[in-house]
Structure 1
């Protein structure tokens, strides 16, 4: 397994080493010891989630506030998504910047997202199965987010806006300038 830092401190791209033979393939999706050795980060995941989405479904940009913030390890089991994170750490050199990466069932890449980030993804294939581990439990009262098409963030979601499907909740998320970063 290779672990590479992104340009945003604390975000890491994990590239598993796949072993293939006539029966199929195998790879480790996470090894705590290796992750800590390379990143220096101690992470204990307590909740696993999975979503299934059709092409154009955009989920995000979401985050949990305060003591309920979550670090995540995300990956695609089937299909392809554009995964996007936004740095909400007000003391960070990359505050307000975003990082995106294509995750799919061919490259099997994963993205580690530390606490203090908004996260979202859009399904680029006909269907995707998206999986993520969280280091903190979900609390509805702590959920928040940023509208996906915020002009300050200027995220290229790779699909025409007419193809994007949002939940009602995600349509009503605030702009980046209106979130309270002191409680992220």
Structure 2
């Protein structure tokens, strides 16, 4: 398994070793010992699975007092996956990074607590699986506007296309107005 620092403090891009033959493929997506050796010491308590049509944008989401670390991977289709550092004590506060995760490339992204997370589905029928280090707490859920000009995420949208958004994502606050981590 290849694990690389992904440009923001604590964020890791993971490329599992994949074995393929005429029958298909196999790879290990989670091994506690291997991940701990790479500096990811996480206890997962919940797995989530989402499916999205092309052009659906989900995010940027986080939980304020019960932050979740997330191990994200795409099992069908492709997504542009984004993490935004919202820890005011971090040298990379307010910076974002994005990667294409796909069923074909098998990449995974470790998004530690302290980040807002979102993704844009690049293909119809895209499915993401993500393991979380804390349970979903609806009253603790927060969002940051996906299109905040001060953050400047370069979403790979066609020039004339607008993403499909949930109401809560359309009305999310700008980073400067959001409750964030210290």
**TM-score (normalizing by structure 2):** 0.96
Q: Does 1:26 align with 2:2?
A: no
Structure 2 regions of 5+ residues with no counterpart? none
> Which 4+ runs in 1 deviate beyond 6 A?
none
Distance of 2:41 and 2:122 partners within structure 1: 32
Give how far 1:111 is off: 0.2
Distance of 2:142 and 2:105 partners within structure 1: 30
Distance of 1:88 and 1:6 partners within structure 2: 16
Structure 1 regions of 5+ residues with no counterpart? none
Q: SS at 2:38's partner residue?
A: helix
Q: Which residue of 1 aligns with 2:15?
A: 15
Q: Which residue of 2 aligns with 1:4?
A: 4
CA RMSD of aligned residues (A): 1.1
Q: Which residue of 2 aligns with 1:57?
A: 56
Q: SS at 2:161's partner residue?
A: helix
Distance of 2:107 and 2:47 partners within structure 1: 17
Distance of 2:35 and 2:128 partners within structure 1: 21
Q: How many residues align?
A: 181
Aligned positions of 1:19-168 closer than 5 A: 19-39=19-39, 41-66=40-65, 68-160=66-158, 162-168=161-167
Give how far 1:126 is off: 2.2
Distance of 1:181 and 1:53 partners within structure 2: 27
Distance of 1:179 and 1:163 partners within structure 2: 23
Give how far 1:182 is off: 4.3
**CA deviations over 1:118-144 (Å, ceiling 9, x no partner):** 000000112201110000000000000
Distance of 1:182 and 1:15 partners within structure 2: 29
**CA deviations over 1:29-51 (Å, ceiling 9, x no partner):** 01110111121x32100000001
Q: SS at 1:130's partner residue?
A: strand
